[in-house]
């Protein structure tokens, strides 16, 4: 039974489900549904798909995640960054409309299968390979691209491209064809959305509205924009003066669809699917962990892989495209008091009802309204301050963030995120290949050893005490050899070298060979090599080799003991 609860988290919380939790979940689902509908329509347009695809991607994936996800408040559905990545992955394939839709479903299937497989292999740790600064930089650059791409709908012009080098010239060339009614619609909607985000809640509180209610009203302000602009467009028949609308949207529940199983298409989309899966998982887990911590709950990253993987595959079989946990929706779900993942199930049911009964009313919805909704939503994701913060904190993080932002803006989202990951790994390898090694001495009157460059300490001419602040492996073992030999040459009275191993958590075979070489070369010139404060797992490895029998010196429990015996 315990194994079943691990595979199906729903079995854990459903046993404690009661009327109070049902009420809390229903209220949260209603608020999330109201917020999710305009977002879903808008993100479908970002992905280059018909608007109904956004609704389809918000029903079955939510239901599937309810049963398989480990987060109680994560709201799964279309998100801005994955929508842009979907458009970028499919935009250059020269596909017809039907083929494009099928390719988007195939992309969702491949992304889901990739995540699901990682989940079965218990590889939730892959989230650790995307550093927070790189993710922030990528999302910032993607948000800028998304906002710029929506200028065409805000102005009623035509533009194309997924990079600054493509978008800006295209927008400049088309700016003269701006449709004034569309631009006015877009500007008013955009002003309303930004004002609602910054000032509506405060205004409502001044009129005596409770803070929680005012906050919720602020977060559903896009729905008011959708309703008002749709009614205005219908009443004054603004389509006649060039205001582009969503048009007829098919009503009814999501169709049962099948992704393409064409091998050539799979080969073409495999790399994009892996990147989309990785970004979606990292973004979802970050949101889920942050919200879970507020409630002193925990999520299981491995189970999240399974839940998100299954949700994406569900999207592929219901006319959708890649999905992930949305930040804004999940925060709203949390603030609205969602008690269990059932809130997602109820939200999916409500969206299905809207799709079944009320979709025809969307025909008069201006595309400028959806564009304004997208711009307002993604602008909160822009955080160029990460460049300044990373510059002040670490050159390595600065290089990774800058490479990610610049290449995402100029070369595209896939190149940007791949470069960010690659630069992060290269910098990590470089840093670990040059470990910090400090010459240490004893603080007077204590048994503590500290860096001679930072503290007034006692040292001895016949002893060189080195603290190695990194695990030893193939990439840094040669560096350690060269450093020790260089220090030995500068100390003619040296008799003992002590490696203080408090920060050494692992020694691989290459490092072991280097230690043996250091021991041998030091022994040839009459210097003994000693180790101190070796951790248990490292000592276990040493005992399984010939190192201890060949070591010219000793292994000491403490650095103080070693110095006292050898001075």
Residues ≥6 apart with Cβ < 8 Å to 486: none
Give the model's pLDDT for residue 2.
Answer: 46
Distance CA 164, CA 410 (A): 6
> Residues 516-533: what's their mean pLDDT?
95
Q: How confident is the model at residue 320 (pLDDT cuts 50, 70, 90)?
A: very high
Alpha-carbon distance values, 88 to 80, 131, 273, 321, 420 (Å): 12, 23, 12, 13, 17
Closest CA to 285 of 63, 7, 70: 70
Give the model's pLDDT for residue 217.
Answer: 77
Which range among 58-62, 419-423, 520-524 shows the weakest confidence by mean pLDDT?
Answer: 419-423
In contact, 370 and 153? CB cutoff 8 Å: yes
Give the model's pLDDT for residue 7.
Answer: 63
Alpha-carbon distance values, 204 to 22, 28, 214, 553 (Å): 29, 21, 6, 76
What domains are there in the chain, each with its CATH number?
18-384 (no CATH), 437-566 (3.30.750.24)
Residue 350 pLDDT > 50, yes or no?
Answer: yes
Single pTM value for the model: 0.82
Give the model's pLDDT for residue 100.
Answer: 95
Burial class (CB in 10 A: 0-12, 13-18, 19+), 461: exposed
Residue 308 pLDDT > 60, yes or no?
Answer: yes
Angle, alpha carbons 457-462-468 (nearest 5°): 60
Mean pLDDT of the chain: 89
Consecutive H or E run containing 496: strand 496-500
Give the model's pLDDT for residue 5.
Answer: 53
**pLDDT (tens digit per residue) in 104-156:** 999 999 999 999 999 999 888 876 767 778 888 888 999 899 999 999 999 99
Distance CA 517, CA 156 (A): 72
Percent of the chain with pLDDT over 90: 56
In contact, 128 and 453? CB cutoff 8 Å: no
Give the model's pLDDT for residue 379.
Answer: 86
Distance CA 50, CA 36 (A): 16
The structure tokens 């347009």 sit at 45
Residues ≥6 apart with Cβ < 8 Å to 63: 314, 344, 345, 348
Which range among 63-72, 280-289, 449-458 shows the weakest confidence by mean pLDDT?
Answer: 280-289
> Residues 247-260: what's their mean pLDDT?
87
Percent of the chain with pLDDT over 70: 98
Give the model's pLDDT for residue 6.
Answer: 55
**pLDDT (tens digit per residue) in 1-53:** 444 555 678 877 888 888 888 988 998 898 888 878 888 999 999 999 999 99
Give the model's pLDDT for residue 457.
Answer: 93
Distance CA 8, CA 4 (A): 6
């Amino acid at each position: 039974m315990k194994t079943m609860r691990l595979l199906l988290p729903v079995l854990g919380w459903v046993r404690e489900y009661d009327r109070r939790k049902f009420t809390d979940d229903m209220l949260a689902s209603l608020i999330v549904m109201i917020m999710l509908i305009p977002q879903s329509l808008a993100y479908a347009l970002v992905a280059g798909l018909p608007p109904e695809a956004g609704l389809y991607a918000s029903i079955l994936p939510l239901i599937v995640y309810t049963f398989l996800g480990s987060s109680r408040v994560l709201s799964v559905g279309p998100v801005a960054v994955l929508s842009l990545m979907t458009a970028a992955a499919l935009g250059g394939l020269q596909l017809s409309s039907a083929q494009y839709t099928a390719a988007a479903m195939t992309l969702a299937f491949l992304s889901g299968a990739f995540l699901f497989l990682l989940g079965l292999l218990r590889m939730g740790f892959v989230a650790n390979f995307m550093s927070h600064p790189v993710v922030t930089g990528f999302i910032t650059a993607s948000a800028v691209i998304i906002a710029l791409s929506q200028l065409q709908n805000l102005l009623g012009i035509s533009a194309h491209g997924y990079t600054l080098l493509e978008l800006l010239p295209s927008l400049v060339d088309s700016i003269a064809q701006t449709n004034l009614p569309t631009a006015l619609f877009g500007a008013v909607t955009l002003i309303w959305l930004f004002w609602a985000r910054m000032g509506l809640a405060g205004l409502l509180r001044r009129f005596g509205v409770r803070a929680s209610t005012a906050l919720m009203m602020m977060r559903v302000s896009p729905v008011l924009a959708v309703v008002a602009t749709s009614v205005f467009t219908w009443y004054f028949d603004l389509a006649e003066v060039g205001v582009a609308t969503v048009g007829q949207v098919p009503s009814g529940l999501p169709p049962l669809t099948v992704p393409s199983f064409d091998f050539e298409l799979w080969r073409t989309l495999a790399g994009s699917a892996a990147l989309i899966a990785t970004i979606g998982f990292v973004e979802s887990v970050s949101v889920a962990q942050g919200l879970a911590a507020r409630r002193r709950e925990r999520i299981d990253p491995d189970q999240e892989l399974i839940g998100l993987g299954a949700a994406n595959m569900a999207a592929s079989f219901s006319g959708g495209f890649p999905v992930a946990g949305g930040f804004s929706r999940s925060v709203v779900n949390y603030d609205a008091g969602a008690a269990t993942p059932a809130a997602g199930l109820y939200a999916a049911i409500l969206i299905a009802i809207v799709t079944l009964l009320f979709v025809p009313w969307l025909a008069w919805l201006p595309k400028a309204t959806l564009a304004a909704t997208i711009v307002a939503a993604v602008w909160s994701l822009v955080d160029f301050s990460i460049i300044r913060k990373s510059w002040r904190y670490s050159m390595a993080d600065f290089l990774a963030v800058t490479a990610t932002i610049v290449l995402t803006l100029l070369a595209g989202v896939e190149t940007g995120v791949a470069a960010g990951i690659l630069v992060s790994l290269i910098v990590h390898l470089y840093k670990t290949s040059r470990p910090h090694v400090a010459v240490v001495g004893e603080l007077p009157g204590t048994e503590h050893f500290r860096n001679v460059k930072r503290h007034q300490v006692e040292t001895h001419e016949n002893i060189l005490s080195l603290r190695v602040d990194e695990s030893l492996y193939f990439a840094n073992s040669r560096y350690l050899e060269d450093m020790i030999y260089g220090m030995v040459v500068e100390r003619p009275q040296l008799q003992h070298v002590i490696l203080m191993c408090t920060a050494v958590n692992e020694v691989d075979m290459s490092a072991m060979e280097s230690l043996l070489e250091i021991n041998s070369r030091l022994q040839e010139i009459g210097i003994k090599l000693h180790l101190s404060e070796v951790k248990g797992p490292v000592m276990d490895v040493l005992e399984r080799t010939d190192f201890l029998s060949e070591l010219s010196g000793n292994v000491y429990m403490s650095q103080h003991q070693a110095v006292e015996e050898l001075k």
